Amino acid sequence: MKRVGIFVDGSNVQSNGGFGMDYNVLRNLATRDGAMPIRMNTYIAYDARRADTDPVYRDKNLGYHEALRRTGFKVVIKTVKWQRDEEGNEHPKSNADLDMAVDMLLQTQRLDRVLLCTGDGDMTKVVTALQDRGIRVDVLGFNNVSRELRETADQYIDGFMVPGLPHAEQLAQGGFNIHVGIAHSYDPERNTGRISFMKDIPEHIWETDQWQLAHFFANRADDDVIEAIEERRHPRVVFNLDERPLEEGKPLPAAQNISIF
């Protein structure tokens, strides 16, 4: 049985599209092949000075920390420090990357795989150090992910693509059966295309033949979706999936309300 660790820069994730991320789904993603989670750490910024004067902020954050602990994660609190610049203006600083980097180097020696959740390019050297030990490192992020970090990871996982992981409000899509996928294979003669997406978390997430397919008509998609496909880009899109029973001769479910995400 493989041994895995999960390390989450909670502050980075929350401020870059991952606010409200479901930590239960994150754990299921990391252990999708039956692996055993040995370390599960999340690093969260907490403004103690604000908490002293704002009970709503205090209670909301402390309740959130307890909810994370109930999912099995160790919550590492990174206290916000206020620093003054030369003009006397105060700026908060609570980067968790140093603490997380040290923990990853010390706590992963007997692990087979690590799922690192951050977009911070400063973690690239840590990823390389773990790989040099023979540890596989997958990186998951949402927005503003360092290109160097993506390219250094053994696999980069777009957090928006993982079913159930992002908070529904982050998808900015109404209706039911909301999914995120990659649009492709547009046929201008038929005005149809396809979307690949994960309906469930496959064991081998990098094997796209394990993903689901949906078809769409051009009039169900925004114009920029079609333009992106024709320019040989593969746009990430959010859409509603019509999961009514398929009619005879229609092997794929239909996607509607498709827009670039």
Q: Sorting pLDDT into bands at 50, 70 and 90, what band is 250?
A: low
pTM over 0.75: yes
Q: Are strands 155-158 and 212-217 parallel, antiparallel or unpaired?
A: unpaired
What would the pLDDT profile of 67-90 be if each residue is shown by its tens digit?
999 999 999 998 888 777 666 676
User: Would the pLDDT of 167 be above 80?
Assistant: no
Query: Cβ contacts of residue 99 below 8 Å, gap of 6+?
Result: 43, 76, 78
Instruction: Compute φ and ψ for 173, nearest 5 degrees.
Output: -135, 130
3-161 folds as Rossmann fold (3.40.50)
Domain boundaries, the chain: 3-161, 172-260
What would the pLDDT profile of 23-65 be if each residue is shown by its tens digit?
999 999 999 999 999 999 999 999 898 899 999 999 999 999 9
172-260 belongs to which CATH class? mainly beta
What would the pLDDT profile of 88-124 be if each residue is shown by its tens digit?
676 667 677 889 999 999 999 999 999 999 999 999 9
Strand segments (E) across 10-94: 36-46, 74-79, 81-84, 90-93
Query: Cβ contacts of residue 102 below 8 Å, gap of 6+?
Result: none
Q: Sorting pLDDT into bands at 50, 70 and 90, what band is 126?
A: very high
Residue 199 to residues 63, 162, 165, 176: CA-CA distances in angstroms?
A: 31, 8, 12, 14
Instruction: Give the whole-angstrom CA distance, residue 59 versus residue 199.
Output: 35
Amino acid at the residue 117: C
